[in-house]
């Protein structure tokens, strides 16, 4: 197990090193985001969910996020994936707003949050920014859901901030290779990221590969909508792809095995981006985790079947809240007898 997890960083780093990629600093420095698509999506999520747009600065990085839902509900953090943004969750939000307090950020470098090519976007740096933002704006503890790249970030966030994370959901998450590889994963191992689009046909390929349920209907709807933004970001996305694992410790994802929080591993059975056998590897790393394979879904369950995804999440959160209550009771009992040093060893059960 140790070798398979270590190889994830090693293999990707080797592929990136052999790709002969040289960033075009002039294009990176002068790039401006496309505002048409984002403006349209703002109207959609504002009308459909009542979410409010907020922004702040974490050091020099502007972070933009959506916040809303039930102010008295359990807090929930949703973390998007690669070549994506906070609007990736729009179809899921209407199923959650009445019961949960929602926080949906654009990760630094993505969506409306700042991209600055002089800054580092290594996975460790992204997690550090997320920690600073969460410490400032989120409640004491909250549920965390991460999709794809966001799943890998969510897992490492849970490792670094165990007291903040009520529960963890890894949705088609980055971080391990399964027993089988998709074409996307084989290409990624060679330093080629198929989620970087240069033209409309690339966007159509991306959308049709990332989805399975209602595949062509979603592709016909999403490709024209996202085309302008994705193509305008091609140099940014390629740069961020190479930055993500740059100088990462080869064993960084091994730490996932220390996760004690209630965990759900959710995967679309027809994922053609990250093979569903990855779920088995995550389960080996986190033996207490629940596994939910969504029949008919691809890489983006929250887009393809939001109602089914929401039901699965809410069932898990209900059960995890019971587990957390049991943990808090046990910990309180231990606090009466443990010394201050011994108390630091108390973990979720």
Per-residue pLDDT tens for 27-72? Answer: 999 888 876 666 566 666 656 678 999 999 999 999 999 999 999 9
Q: φ, ψ for residue 13 (rounded to 5)?
A: -65, -40
> Residue 119 — very low, low, confident or very high, per pLDDT cuts 50/70/90?
very high
Q: Is residue 302 within 8 Å of 92, Cβ to Cβ?
A: yes
Neighbouring C-alpha atoms within 13 Å toward the C-beta of 118: 4
What mean pLDDT do residues 217-241 have?
Answer: 93
Residue 338's pLDDT band, with cuts at 50, 70 and 90, is very low
Q: What pLDDT is recorded for position 81?
A: 97
pLDDT at 52: 92
Is there a contact between 148 and 172 (Cβ–Cβ < 8 Å)? yes
Residues forming a β-bridge with 292: 266
- Are 189 and 11 within 8 A, CB to CB? yes
Sheet holding 61-69, edge to edge: 52-58, 61-69, 100-105, 74-79, 142-147, 165-171, 263-268, 290-294
- In CATH, 2-16+64-193+243-326 is 3.40.47.10: no
pTM of the full predicted structure? 0.89
Instruction: Assess whether pLDDT exceeds 60 at residue 332.
Output: no
Average pLDDT of the chain to the nearest whole number? 88
Q: And the tokens for 118?
A: 């002089």
pLDDT at 341 over 80: no
The larger pLDDT score, comparing residue 271 to residue 253, is at 271
């Amino acid at each position: 197990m140790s070798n398979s997890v270590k190889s994830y960083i090693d293999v990707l780093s080797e592929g990136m090193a052999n790709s002969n990629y040289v960033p075009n600093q002039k294009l990176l420095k002068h790039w401006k985001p496309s505002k048409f698509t984002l403006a349209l999506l703002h109207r959609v999520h504002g009308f459909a969910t009542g979410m409010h747009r907020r922004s702040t600065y974490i050091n020099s990085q502007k972070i933009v996020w959506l916040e809303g839902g039930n102010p008295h509900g359990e807090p929930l953090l949703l973390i998007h994936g690669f070549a994506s943004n906070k609007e990736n969750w729009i179809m899921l939000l209407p199923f959650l707003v009445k019961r949960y307090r929602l926080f949906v950020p654009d990760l630094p470098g993505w969506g409306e949050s700042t991209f600055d090519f002089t800054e580092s976007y290594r996975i460790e740096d992204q997690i550090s920014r997320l920690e600073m933002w969460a410490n400032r704006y989120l409640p004491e503890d909250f549920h965390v859901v991460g999709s794809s790249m966001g799943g890998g970030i969510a897992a490492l966030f849970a490792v670094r901030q165990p007291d903040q994370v009520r529960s963890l959901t890894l949705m088609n998450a980055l971080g391990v290779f399964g027993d089988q590889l998709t074409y996307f994963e084989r290409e990624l191992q060679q330093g080629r990221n198929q989620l970087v689009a240069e033209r409309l046909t690339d966007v159509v390929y991306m959308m049709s590969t990332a989805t399975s349920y209602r595949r062509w209907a979603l592709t016909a709807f999403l490709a024209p909508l996202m085309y302008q933004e994705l193509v305008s970001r091609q140099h940014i996305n390629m740069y961020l792809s190479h930055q993500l694992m740059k100088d990462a410790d080869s064993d960084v994802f091994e730490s996932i095995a220390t996760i004690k929080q209630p965990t759900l591993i959710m995967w679309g059975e027809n994922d053609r981006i990250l093979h569903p056998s990855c779920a088995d590897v995550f389960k080996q790393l986190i033996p207490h985790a629940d596994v939910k394979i969504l029949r008919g879904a691809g890489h983006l369950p929250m887009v393809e079947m939001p109602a089914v995804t929401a039901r699965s999440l809410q069932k898990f959160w209900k059960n995890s809240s019971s587990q957390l209550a049991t943990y808090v009771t046990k910990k309180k009992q231990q606090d009466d007898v443990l010394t201050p040093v011994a108390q630091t060893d108390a973990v979720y059960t």
